[in-house]
Each structure stands twice: as C-alpha cells, then as structure tokens.
Amino acid sequence: MVRLILFTVFVVIIVTCLYVTSIYAAGITKQQVERAINGVRKGDYQFYDELVSKDAKNLLPYLTSYVRDSNPDVKIAIIDCARRVQNKESITLLISMLADKDADVSERVASAIFSDFKPALLCTANTEILINNLQSHLQINENSGISIILLAQCKKDKAIIKYLNKYRVEHKDFSTRIELWHPKASLSVSCDIALAELGDADAMKRYQNTLKNGKVENLIYTLYSVRWISRKEMLFGLLQMLRDNRNALPGGPSGTNVYQRICDISLENLLARANIPLKTIAEEKINYSARELNAAINKLGKLWKK
C-alpha cells in the first residue's frame, strides 16, 4: 500500500514536470490555456499558476476571449495576469473590463490600474473609451474614489470638470478608501484631488485646506494617491505632511500600541513618487527620525519647489 502511494506521488510529480517543460519547449498552447481556465472554474489554480508565472506576456492574448466569462474567478485571473504584464495590451484589456457588471470584478480592475500601472501607460489608451468605462464603473461602484482620480488623467477638459463637480455634490456624504485596512475617507477628497489635477481653482483651494487642516483619514487617502498627482504645487503642498506627528496606521503586531505617523507615511510615499530610493534617506522602519524627515523635506523641496 505504501509503495502504491509513493508510486502515485512519483507519477504526479513526473507529469507536472513534463507539463511545465512543455510550456518552455513549445510555448503556450490553446489547449493548455483551456485546461488552466477550466481548473480556475473549479477552484484549482495549479495549471494557471504555472502558465502565468512562466510566461504571463504570451498567456495574456489567449485570455482576451474569456473577459466575458460568467465565472468571476476567471475574470480575476485575467486581472492578475494583466497586472504582471503591464504593457499597452494589458492596460487596454483592463480598461475594457472596467464596465463589467460584476461590481467586485470592476473594482478589482480599477484597483489594479490605480496601484500597479504607471500614469504614462494609462495615457496610451483610447481616452474616450477610458472615460466612458470609468463613468460606467462609477454607476456600479459609486464610492470608487480611485476611479474618480483616474478620470483626471489624460483628458483635461471642461466636460470632465463639470462631471466631477456634479459628482462631488451628489455624493458629498459618501466615503471611500484605497486599501481595506485604511480608515474611510470622504469621497470629496478624491474629487478634489482629481479636480485640482485638472486645474480647477476652487478644488485646488479645498485640496490645500485638506492638507493644512484635514482629518487623518483624508490625509492617508491623499498620500496613497500621490502617484497620480503631477502638479508641482500639489506635490509641494504635501511636504508639510512630513512634519505631522499624528498617529495614522497600525505599525506593529495586532494588540500593540505602535503606529506609523502621518510623517512616516509621507516620507515613504513621497520619496516613491519622486523615484528617490528610500535607502538614500533611511532604512525602512515604522517611525523615522527628525533628521531623516528633514532630509526628505530638503531633497523633495528642491525637486518640487514652485
């Protein structure tokens, strides 16, 4: 009996190795993709994981025929593959999925674009389709602040400004957040970031007021949105957050009284936005010293000075 079990395990290992080897030898085939997708439908991700980890770029074109699949897990697998590839084809595919009728799927798409793709890559997409699909997504997920911020990219015209100002008024009592572990911020903050980025003067005043007098949750939201902010006056205004010592997010194990402060979150996110390696200022940690924070202020101030 033991020998039979060992033999069975040995056969499974050999078959799996031959399968992976075939991917390298002959490239991805339609049959392999069908097998992987059928596995995903059943909750078995083994063959999908092998395909996507070895050759996500060549796998992605095969997955385009599954974007209307009735199984949301299949669509989530497509999003995962697109996140790994991050090229013009993958951003085009994700934009097409923004209007998916499944609210969870469409929000995952928006999150993938917001968190993983560079603004410059988003600007290679068809602007009209991007705007239409983002607005369709907002009809499904009205509190999707990240979609509001994405709307401000690539198309700086009066129609978008009018749409966002109206949306802000109609959704003034809504809340939003970027990560599930973040505190909820006012959806108006998303609108103000987007409108200020588009050059709306009133929104710029509200944005600056949020930085000066804002609640912690609104500042957290703004700092985690910074990769989509390009105006120097908006970026320069964020430097004052490097002097804000208020506790913001838990920074230690559950049950401990350890927090990252606004200034700590600012240092990490603002340096990342400026493409300045953290190690040039400090080693990564929960709380940064006054010397390290001042060094960041000086370096970023020269970069973003008005």
Q: Which two tokens stand for residue 162?
A: 């009018």
23 pLDDT band, cuts 50/70/90, is: very low
- The pLDDT score that the predictor gives to residue 25 is 37
C-beta of residue 197 within 8 angstroms of C-beta of residue 229: yes
Q: Do residues 161 and 195 make contact, with C-beta atoms less than 8 angstroms apart? A: yes
Which amino acid makes up residue 116? D
Q: What is the mean pLDDT of residues 8-28?
A: 44
Confidence at 214, pLDDT banded by 50, 70, 90: confident
Question: Stretch 117-129: mean pLDDT, rounded?
Answer: 90
pLDDT at res. 15: 35
What's the rounded mean pLDDT across residues 21-30? 60
The pLDDT value recorded for residue 78 is: 97
- The number of beta carbons lying within 10 Å of the beta carbon of residue 257 is 8
Q: Per-residue pLDDT tens for 70-119?
A: 999 999 999 999 999 999 999 999 999 999 999 999 999 999 999 999 99
pLDDT above 70 covers what percent of the chain?
90
DSSP 153-170: SS---HHHHHHHHHHHHH
Q: Tell me, what's the pLDDT at 44?
A: 95
For the CA atoms of 46, 51, 53, 54, the dihedral, rounded to the nearest 10 degrees, stands at: 140
Please check the confidence at residue 141 and state whether its pLDDT lies above 50.
Answer: yes
Q: CB of 273 within 8 A of CB of 235?
A: yes
Task: Quick: pLDDT tens for 256-268.
Answer: 788 999 999 999 9
What's the pLDDT at 4? 38
Between vectors from CA 68 to CA 64 and to CA 74, what angle results, nearest 5°?
A: 75
- Check pLDDT > 80 for residue 145: yes
What tens digit of pLDDT does each residue of 240-297 get? 999 999 999 998 777 778 899 999 999 999 999 999 999 999 999 999 999 999 999 9
Q: What average pLDDT does the structure give for the chain?
A: 89
